[in-house]
């Protein structure tokens, strides 16, 4: 796991600029920092040493020095790829997975991506052809950002590195804010920074002769089928998950495993051959937001250690500016901050950790996936009548039982489901935002994806939307950024090509069975986990935000931000305060909407008003420094 930066551009003081870009993401790789420069091309690399600690340095070249790679991630089948390439006559100088990318490019060109299994964002510079080839992995586990500038191209693992290049001029992108208000994360290809784009999952790019070409090479389309019995599919899940976890253990350093009270991380922890698990929680009167006891109990059953800690409200709220700095873009998922503390604790002990992201999207785990069946009877009523009933329910003041059912039931699936989060409607956006930058709706963004899965069952359609929006935009973004903030490599065994190929074929009744989500996966996990874990209802990563926002202390903190000059620049602040007051007075739970706006304002302050002091950003420690610190403790 590492960080990559670079550019192909006529840049004054190019080596110094490259160094500044590398320094901006030192947390992604504190163990080593190296450069490659040739003409206008500059490639920089920050290394977090995981495989072949002594020899796996980057940038890495082929034998003749004219094909150069910088790579962030892990190639889990690199030994197989290496054998294929050696059989074809290629010579290897190291045992690292990085070197297989160089020779795979020489052998297969862009088709090399079909041979890889892993998580990655990499760039290959072909010095003979003066061509830059970059790619992002199948599901978007690793980030990749880029910007076109006058006569050139800049790229990096994190946006903050691109901001260091003098040819890029920082500017806020208001259209991204419009869509963020609905999705709770930055969803457009163009980020919150005008002119800086994300390379989408399953895509590669080629920059040559000042021309940029982008191509999709992988599309996670569901293909439900009934060619196997339920028992056969469960057996396949057991075998494939066991093999995937073993593949994700490849490392020359110690590996740990995250553990919550849910089935996803518990299943990974059960299959994980190591001994160390990690958990965090929050202390409240009803203990509703604390999974530590569940996790400790599960760890004891599995015969593993569990390290845990309570996150205090003070620590949580004080860390938000730093979390937004590491995120690069605002993310209104309260669990991101909790994950920041969890990963910090893990990084004090190990360098690599397994995590359970992806199980819900692949195997049908979200409770909202039940909705098409809950609404099935009601949607047999003619749509004009449902629309009328929904309109009446929407116009009535207050919140009453059945109101949301009537409103959502009045809409088709593609109208109501844009992914696992849907914060502000278009009407609310127009009322709250001072300036609306676009008439484009969230449905305009999801429509092309719905078109690709037309005719499939509604759950498969919802999963495909989540695979393309929620998974890379929220789940994987926070997993990468929060772990790398602490120089920790997070690996996700569910998000594996072989696991996906199996899960995409599950018929709907094996994903959802009655009120049971992830039915086939839960059945498979029951072999190694007790019933109370495999049958436990999904909680997500519970954070007591709705409780805190009713307390005077945090109400005042948010209100001050909602009435700030920055807030007045973007929002009708009276509407913001009304959201806050209605929540505090128990009129309606507005906690997620309040949080969406609050973290945006914190993020804007950090990146556009110098709201975070340089001394507040921790200096990353090398592996040797961590070991010395641990030994002295």
373: in domain = no
Tell me: pLDDT of 53 over 70.
no
CATH number of the domain to which 460 belongs: 3.40.50.620
405: in domain = no
- Residue 394: pLDDT band (50, 70, 90) is confident
Which whole number is the average pLDDT over 545-558?
A: 96
Whole-number pLDDT of residue 540: 63
Q: Is 35 exposed, middle or buried (0-12, 13-18, 19+ CB in 10 A)?
A: middle
Q: Do 287 and 181 reside in the same domain of the chain?
A: no
Which whole number is the average pLDDT over 361-381?
A: 91
Which whole number is the average pLDDT over 68-93?
A: 94
Which whole number is the average pLDDT over 258-270?
A: 93
Whole-number pLDDT of residue 378: 84
Asked if 334 contacts 595 with a C-beta cutoff of 8 angstroms, the reply is: yes
Which whole number is the average pLDDT over 40-51?
A: 90
Q: Do 181 and 41 reside in the same domain of the chain?
A: yes
Whole-number pLDDT of residue 261: 79
Residue numbers annotated as active site: 2
Q: Do 163 and 35 reside in the same domain of the chain?
A: yes
Whole-number pLDDT of residue 537: 73
Question: Which residue range is the domain that position 165 belongs to?
Answer: 2-216
Whole-number pLDDT of residue 562: 98
Whole-number pLDDT of residue 624: 66
384: in domain = no
96: in domain = yes
Tell me: pLDDT of 409 over 90.
no
Whole-number pLDDT of residue 536: 72
Q: Say how far apart CA 112 and CA 101 lie, in whole Å.
A: 8
- The Cβ-side half-sphere exposure at 252, using a 13 Å CA radius, reads 14
Whole-number pLDDT of residue 290: 82
257: in domain = yes
Q: How many domains are there within the chain?
A: 2
Q: Do 86 and 228 reside in the same domain of the chain?
A: no
Q: Say how far apart CA 91 and CA 85 lie, in whole Å.
A: 8
Which whole number is the average pLDDT over 128-142?
A: 98
Which whole number is the average pLDDT over 35-45?
A: 96
Which whole number is the average pLDDT over 45-65?
A: 82
Of 216, 243, 260, the last residue of a domain is 216
- The Cβ-side half-sphere exposure at 473, using a 13 Å CA radius, reads 26
Q: Which of 209-218, 405-414, 531-540 has the highest mean pLDDT?
A: 209-218
Which residue did the predictor score with more confidence, 56 or 528?
528
Q: Which of 141, 143, 139, 173 is nearest to 155 (CA)?
A: 143
pLDDT digit string, tens, across residues 417-437: 999 999 999 999 999 999 998
Of 216, 237, 252, the last residue of a domain is 216
392: in domain = no
Cα torsion angle, 461, 502, 355, 492, sign: negative
Q: Do 63 and 183 reside in the same domain of the chain?
A: yes
Whole-number pLDDT of residue 631: 67
Q: Do 170 and 252 reside in the same domain of the chain?
A: no
399: in domain = no
Cα torsion angle, 175, 181, 183, 184, sign: positive
Whole-number pLDDT of residue 36: 96
pLDDT digit string, tens, across residues 101-124: 999 999 999 999 999 999 999 999
34: in domain = yes
CATH number of the domain to which 38 belongs: 3.60.20.10
Render 383-445 in DSSP notation, one character per residue.
HHHHHHHHHHHHHSSS--TTHHHHHHHTS-HHHH-SSS-----HHHHHHHBSS------HHHH
Q: Exposure string (b/e) for 290-307, b if CB count within 10 Å is 16 or more?
A: bbbebbbebbeebebebb
Q: Do 195 and 252 reside in the same domain of the chain?
A: no
- Residue 539: pLDDT band (50, 70, 90) is low
Q: Could you tell me what percent of the chain has a pLDDT over 70?
A: 96
pLDDT digit string, tens, across residues 440-471: 999 999 999 999 999 999 999 999 999 999 99
Which whole number is the average pLDDT over 199-228?
A: 97
Q: Say how far apart CA 427 and CA 269 lie, in whole Å.
A: 44
Asked if 499 contacts 506 with a C-beta cutoff of 8 angstroms, the reply is: no
Mean pLDDT of the chain: 93
Tell me: pLDDT of 56 over 70.
no
Tell me: pLDDT of 633 over 70.
no
Tell me: pLDDT of 439 over 70.
yes
Residue with tokens 């590398």: 22
Q: Do 270 and 184 reside in the same domain of the chain?
A: no
Of 161, 181, 216, the last residue of a domain is 216
Which residue did the predictor score with more confidence, 535 or 519?
519
Q: Do 535 and 578 reside in the same domain of the chain?
A: yes
Helix axes 591-608, 573-584, angle to 10 degrees: 140
- Residue 400: pLDDT band (50, 70, 90) is confident
Q: Do 246 and 178 reside in the same domain of the chain?
A: no
Q: Do 49 and 100 reside in the same domain of the chain?
A: yes
- Residue 54: pLDDT band (50, 70, 90) is low
Q: Do 39 and 10 reside in the same domain of the chain?
A: yes
């Amino acid at each position: 796991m590492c960080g990559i930066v670079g550019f192909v551009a006529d840049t004054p003081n190019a080596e110094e600029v490259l160094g500044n870009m590398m320094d901006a993401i030192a947390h992604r790789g504190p163990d080593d920092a190296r450069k490659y420069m040739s003409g206008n091309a500059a490639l920089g690399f920050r290394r977090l040493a995981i495989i072949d600690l002594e020899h796996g340095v980057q940038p890495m070249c082929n034998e003749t020095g004219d094909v150069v790679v910088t790579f962030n991630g892990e190639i889990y089948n690199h030994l197989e790829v290496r054998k294929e390439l050696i059989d074809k006559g290629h010579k290897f100088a190291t045992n690292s997975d990085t070197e297989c990318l160089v020779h795979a490019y020489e052998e297969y060109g862009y088709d090399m991506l079909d041979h890889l299994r892993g998580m990655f964002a990499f760039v290959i510079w072909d010095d003979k052809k003066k061509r830059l080839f970059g790619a992002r992995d199948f599901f978007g586990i690793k980030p990749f950002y880029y910007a076109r500038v006058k006569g050139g191209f800049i790229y990096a693992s994190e946006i903050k590195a691109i901001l260091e290049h003098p040819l890029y001029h920082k500017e806020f992108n208001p259209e991204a804010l419009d869509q963020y208000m609905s999705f709770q994360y930055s969803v457009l290809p163009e980020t919150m920074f005008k002119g800086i784009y994300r390379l989408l999952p399953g895509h590669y790019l080629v920059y040559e002769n000042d021309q940029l070409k982008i191509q999709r090479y992988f599309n996670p389309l569901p293909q439900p089928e009934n060619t196997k019995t339920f028992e056969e599919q469960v057996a396949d899940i057991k075998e494939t998950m066991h093999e995937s976890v073993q593949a994700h253990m490849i490392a020359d350093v110690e590996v740990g495993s995250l553990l919550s009270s849910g089935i996803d991380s518990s299943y990974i922890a059960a299959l994980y051959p190591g001994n160390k698990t990690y958990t965090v929680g929050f202390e409240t009167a009803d203990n509703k937001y604390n999974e530590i006891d569940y996790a400790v109990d599960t760890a004891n059953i599995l015969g593993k250690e569990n390290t845990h800690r309570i996150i205090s409200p003070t620590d949580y709220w004080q860390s938000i500016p730093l979390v937004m700095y590491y995120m690069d873009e605002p993310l209104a998922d309260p669990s991101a901050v909790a994950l920041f503390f969890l990963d910090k604790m893990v990084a004090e002990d190990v360098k690599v950790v397994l995590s359970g992201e992806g199980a819900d999207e692949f195997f049908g785990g979200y409770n909202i996936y039940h909705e098409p069946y809950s609404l099935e009877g009601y949607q047999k009523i003619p749509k004009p009548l449902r629309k009328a009933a929904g309109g009446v329910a929407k116009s009535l003041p207050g919140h009453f039982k059945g109101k949301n059912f009537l409103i959502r039931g009045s809409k088709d699936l593609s109208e109501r489901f844009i992914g696992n989060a849907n914060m502000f409607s278009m009407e609310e956006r127009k009322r709250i935002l001072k300036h609306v930058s676009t008439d484009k709706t969230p449905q305009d963004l999801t429509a092309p994806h719905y078109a690709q899965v037309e005719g499939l069952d509604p759950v498969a359609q919802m999963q495909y939307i989540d695979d393309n929006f929620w998974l890379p935009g929220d789940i994987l973004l926070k997993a990468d950024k929060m772990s790398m903030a602490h120089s920790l490599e997070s690996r996700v065994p569910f998000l594996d090509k072989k696991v996906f190929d199996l899960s995409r074929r599950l018929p709907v009744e094996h994903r959802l069975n009655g009120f049971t989500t992830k039915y086939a996966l839960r059945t498979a996990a029951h072999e190694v986990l007790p019933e109370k874990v495999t049958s436990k209802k999904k909680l997500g990563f519970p954070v007591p935000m709705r409780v805190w926002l009713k307390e005077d202390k945090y109400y005042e903190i948010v209100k001050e931000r909602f009435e700030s000059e920055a807030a007045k620049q973007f929002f009708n602040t009276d509407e913001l305060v009304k959201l806050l007051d209605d929540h505090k007075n128990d009129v309606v739970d507005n906690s997620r909407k309040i949080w969406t706006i609050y973290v945006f304002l914190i993020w804007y302050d950090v990146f556009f008003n110098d709201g975070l002091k340089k001394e507040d950003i921790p200096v990353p420690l090398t592996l040797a420094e961590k070991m010395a610190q641990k030994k002295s403790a």
